[in-house]
Amino acid sequence: MSKTILIVEDEDILREVVKDYFLNEGYNVLEAADGEEALFLFQEDHVDLIILDIMLPELDGWSICRRIRKTSNVPIIMLTARVDEDDTLLGFELGADDYITKPYSPPILMARAKRLLKNRHSAVGSTDDTLSLHGISVNFLSRTVTVDGDPLDLTYTEFEILTYLMQNRGIVITKEQLITKIWGFEYVGDDRTVNTHIRNVRNKLGEKSKLIKTIIRTGYKFEDDL
């Protein structure tokens, strides 16, 4: 079944260009020119990924992202003409999965979208569909996580980071390795992006956050033994 992409962009020409790229790749496309229309379409239709401009009439992209994250973990790529790194970090703190600065290449956007839509759930050295460590249980087929039996609400990227660390438990994973694994070789940005997502994951893990250890000037490690 074709995936459905919601493109939220108030610049008509740019929205049409992006729409054509996704249609040519066989995706279903929904399009919105403002925030209110975007939320309506999201609530009325099944959406697999959202491409979300920040500067929008009615509601800005940050407000839309915040509202969607209250009920859904759908992958979100945020678009902006601003280059302030603090804006990027704010988007990630609100639950965005990726961030692209305008002007951008539509093929790069397509590559980022495909990466997010692809379920990378194979455990390292294993074909198991589930993984449980220290009360954290992962089902890779349904992409769900529970902590001591209680469901954990993770975004797509947070799920990828947590499970990658768990799959490599006891091994120090550098920030560069995380960036390559989650965002790909073409990613342009600094390691504060990783720090922000790790902080989000730890906040959601609560008492289990101690399982993710910071290795100074290197990266992170999921504890194998406690």
Question: Domain ranges in the chain?
Answer: 4-117, 130-222
Q: Which of 29, 32, 77 is nearest to 58 (CA)?
A: 32
Helix (H, G, I), strand (E, B) or coil at 207: helix
Reported as a single tens digit per residue, the pLDDT across 176-211 is 888 888 877 556 566 778 888 999 999 999 999 999
129 within 8 A of 140, measured Cβ to Cβ:
yes
Same fold, 4-117 and 130-222: no
Higher pLDDT, 191 or 128: 191
Q: Which of 52, 137, 143, 37 is nearest to 94 (CA)?
A: 52
Specify the pLDDT at position 185: 58
In which region does residue 196 sit, left (phi positive, over 0), alpha (psi from -120 to 50) or beta (all else)? alpha
What is the mean pLDDT of the segment spanning 150-175?
92
What is the mean pLDDT of the segment spanning 21-29?
94
Kindly state the percentage of the chain with pLDDT values over 70.
Answer: 88
Helix (H, G, I), strand (E, B) or coil at 31: strand
What is the mean pLDDT of the segment spanning 60-65?
92
> pLDDT category, 127, cuts 50, 70, 90?
very low
Q: Which helix (H) or strand (E) holds 203?
A: helix 192-205
Strands (E), the chain: 4-8, 28-32, 49-53, 76-80, 98-101, 130-133, 136-139, 144-147, 150-152, 173-174, 212-215, 219-222
- Kindly report which listed range (79-83, 142-146, 153-157, 201-205) carries the lowest average pLDDT score: 79-83
Q: What is the mean pLDDT of the chain?
A: 86
Specify the pLDDT at position 94: 82
- Burial degree of 217 (CB within 10 A; 0-12, 13-18, 19+): exposed
CA 215 to chain centre: 23
CATH of segment(s) 4-117:
3.40.50.2300
Q: What is the CA radius of gyration of the chain?
A: 18
Euclidean distance between CA atoms 218 and 194, whole angstroms: 12
What is the mean pLDDT of the segment spanning 156-182?
90
Architecture of domain 130-222: Orthogonal Bundle (1.10)
170 within 8 A of 133, measured Cβ to Cβ:
no
Sheet of 173-174: strand order equals: 173-174, 219-222, 212-215
What is the mean pLDDT of the segment spanning 93-100?
85
Euclidean distance between CA atoms 87 and 79, whole angstroms: 11
Report residue 197 as tokens.
Answer: 């997502």
Euclidean distance between CA atoms 166 and 137, whole angstroms: 10
Reported as a single tens digit per residue, the pLDDT across 109-124 is 998 898 888 744 333 4
pTM over the 0.85 mark: no
Specify the pLDDT at position 126: 41
Kindly state the percentage of the chain with pLDDT values over 90.
Answer: 55
